[in-house]
């Protein structure tokens, strides 16, 4: 049976499974789920084997909120011997298809991390073995240097459940994460006042194509950070050369204030509105009910207060997928009511915890005010 394996944050398997099952049913493709609880792995077993690749071609990974990465299985779980593991994997894979890249992967758990040394040691001989039988091309592409539209070919995934068990599968390079297991490895900057800075750093990397940074993430732009203190998100705007208005009743880090790029207004983020319509970026990581934040973000865009918004919606303890769906739909409904074209994406990013990150911007001019 063909299955789609999805990687997500451990503890969010239920939400990831509900989402892929719903999106597949919209395309009249059906199956059942096997969840690896707290392992960050979801197996969606399709009733029709031909639907795996069809679904992966029709459904963009970026439209899935809780899935970081995915692949279609080529094999069932393979039991590996203590010796000659390379030969066992090559034999199980066969030589019918050719792949452009090999990724050695594990679950995002402590046990999975303990396997990383084993995977690194096995990776070189396995690549050599696969190239020898012409299953793997001679050169691996540098995914980080390419835009999403430039990604081509197929990626071979080897998901190691242990040193004795592996599942093989493939994904389409143009519709998969550039990062192994969908996890970017970002370094925490020592100058940043809080670790929350990594959330916005990852969000910019994820949502904004690098070939558009010169237009959309450039020095000299004006930005507003709602709920800014102590300045984790403001730091990411400042380091990109932007002028930031930081809105929070709490204190901002002195290091940010000393840059001369930050104006701090001590007030409620829900009560602030810019005097001029010269703000490009609005960012927001307020610990508030997601319904209120979603409404506020839509209002900022529809009032012309900003061009693009990046914000987090906090997740409830229960009914998380349902709440996320309702919050995003409320934003879509507000945009549709004003008959504007828009771009709206959401992702449970690696550096997120109990929240999702949303990016929104309008693609058509605002209608004239009555």
Catalytically active residues are 314
Structure tokens at 353: 């915890």
How do beta strands 3-7 and 222-226 pair? unpaired
As a whole number of angstroms, the distance between CA 90 and CA 96 comes to: 11
Structure tokens at 169: 């599968």
As a whole number of angstroms, the distance between CA 27 and CA 247 comes to: 43
Structure tokens at 190: 């020592």
Phi, psi of 301 (to 5 degrees): -70, -40
As a whole number of angstroms, the distance between CA 209 and CA 342 comes to: 17
Structure tokens at 92: 């199980």
As a whole number of angstroms, the distance between CA 176 and CA 178 comes to: 7
Task: Quote the radius of gyration of the chain (alpha carbons, Å).
Answer: 22
What is the three-class DSSP state of 243?
strand
Residue 319 CB-half CA count within 13 A: 5
As a whole number of angstroms, the distance between CA 105 and CA 70 comes to: 11
């Amino acid at each position: 049976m063909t299955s789609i394996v999805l990687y997500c944050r451990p503890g969010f398997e239920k939400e990831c499974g509900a989402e892929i099952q719903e999106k597949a049913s919209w395309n009249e493709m059906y199956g059942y789920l096997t969840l690896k609880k707290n392992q960050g792995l979801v197996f969606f077993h399709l009733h029709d084997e031909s639907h795996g690749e069809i679904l992966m071609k029709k459904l963009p990974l970026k439209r899935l909120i809780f899935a970081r990465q995915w692949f279609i299985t080529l094999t069932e779980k393979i039991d590996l011997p203590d010796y000659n593991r390379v030969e066992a994997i090559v034999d199980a894979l066969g030589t019918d298809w050719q792949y452009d890249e090999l990724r050695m992967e594990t679950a995002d758990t402590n046990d999975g991390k303990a396997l990383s040394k084993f995977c690194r040691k096995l990776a070189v001989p396995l690549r050599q073995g696969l190239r020898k039988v012409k299953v793997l091309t001679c050169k691996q592409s540098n995914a980080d240097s390419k835009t999403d539209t430039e990604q081509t070919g197929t990626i071979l995934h080897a998901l190691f459940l242990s040193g004795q068990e592996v599942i093989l599968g493939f994904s389409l390079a143009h519709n998969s994460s550039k990062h192994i297991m969908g996890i970017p490895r970002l370094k925490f900057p020592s100058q940043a006042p809080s670790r929350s800075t990594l959330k916005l750093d990852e969000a910019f990397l994820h949502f904004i194509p690098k070939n558009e940074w010169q237009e959309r993430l450039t020095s000299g732009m004006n930005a507003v950070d709602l709920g800014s203190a102590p300045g984790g998100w403001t730091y990411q705007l400042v380091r990109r050369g932007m002028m930031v208005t930081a809105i929070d009743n709490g204190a901002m880090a002195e290091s940010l204030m000393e840059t001369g790029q930050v104006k701090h207004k001590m007030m409620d983020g829900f009560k602030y509105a810019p005097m001029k319509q010269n703000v490009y970026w609005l960012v927001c990581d307020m610990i508030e009910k997601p319904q209120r934040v979603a409404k506020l973000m839509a209002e900022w865009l529809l009032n012309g207060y900003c061009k693009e918004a990046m914000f987090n919606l906090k997740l409830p303890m229960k009914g998380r997928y349902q709440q996320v769906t309702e919050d995003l739909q409320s934003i879509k409904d507000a945009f549709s009511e004003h008959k504007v074209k828009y771009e709206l994406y959401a992702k449970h990013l690696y550096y997120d915890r109990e929240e999702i990150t949303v990016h929104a911007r309008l693609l058509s001019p605002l209608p004239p005010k009555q």
